[in-house]
Amino acid sequence: MKKIAVKKKVVKKTTVKKKKDLGYKIYTPRANKLDKNNVIFIPDLHAPFIKDGVLDWIKEEQKRYNCGTVIFAGDIIDGHAWSYHESDPDGLSVGDELQAAREQLKPWFKAFPEAISLMGNHDLLIQRKARTIGLSKHFIKGFGDVIGAPKGWKFDIEYVKDNVLYKHGNVGTAFKVAKESRISTCQGHFHAETYVQWSVSEKDAIFGMQVGWGADRHAYAFDYGKPFAKKPVISCGLILDRGKTPIVKLMPI
């Protein structure tokens, strides 16, 4: 009988490389499960004048830092056409601007079906206008209905999470508010300012975070700012580790 040669399977040895201890934690997103303890703080958008590319950049930062809680700083819409200030007679009408804002916000609603949105001074213009002409609040739609927001969006003046105060900010910068109230504070509103600044006492360590905006400064609605030396900055905030680690990121120019 002929002998049949049997080929032996060669098993390759694999070496497992140990992860190097970098001395700090790298935030890596988990599939479909972002960490609710990490917050992304999105600046004033001023729809329908949002700058191209801002949404894609915000989504990248959310994934990079594994942020499962989304908070908008307010001024979701601009309201140039119904402002108390002079509006551009060659600009969009009230109805056209609102419709354009709703359209521009649709991809934001799709990207962030659940969010907390703080009411900014531009968002509150509708209520103020109603009071000016003597209309009861019962005649006015909810702000979410006006802009076409999904049911997962909640609107408020202020919001506190992990002992960090989030607000739009009309009466002082974030650091000023934080020092006076002794609670870490995150704000928008002041478009040309963005920073994280700490205040440390014998009893506590608190920070103030200021984010800029996400609008296109060349839009006609912002012509008033052309003479100003300080220009708006596009930035967002990241508040990690249950409110302990604040970071401000600037959008690449």
- Band (170; pLDDT cuts 50, 70, 90): confident
Cα of first residue to Cα of last residue in the chain, in angstroms, is 79
More confident call, 227 vs 8: 227
Q: Exposed, middle or buried: residue 65 (CB in 10 Å: 0-12, 13-18, 19+)?
A: buried
Bridge partners, 210 (sequence order) = 187, 195
- At 13 the pLDDT is 54
pLDDT at 145 > cutoff 90: yes
- At 12 the pLDDT is 53
pLDDT digits (tens, 9 = 90+) for 101-112: 999 999 999 999
d(CA 99, CA 147): 8
Q: Spell out the domains of the chain, with CATH numbers in brackets.
A: 35-250 (3.60.21.10)
pTM of the model: 0.86
**Mean of the per-residue pLDDT values of the chain:** 91
More confident call, 7 vs 60: 60
Q: Are strands 164-167 and 158-161 parallel, antiparallel or unpaired?
A: antiparallel
How confident is the model over 15-39, as a mean pLDDT? Answer: 61
pLDDT digits (tens, 9 = 90+) for 185-232: 999 999 999 999 999 999 999 999 999 999 999 999 999 999 999 999
- At 80 the pLDDT is 97
pLDDT at 26 > cutoff 80: no
pLDDT at 7 > cutoff 70: no
Q: Exposed, middle or buried: residue 234 (CB in 10 Å: 0-12, 13-18, 19+)?
A: buried
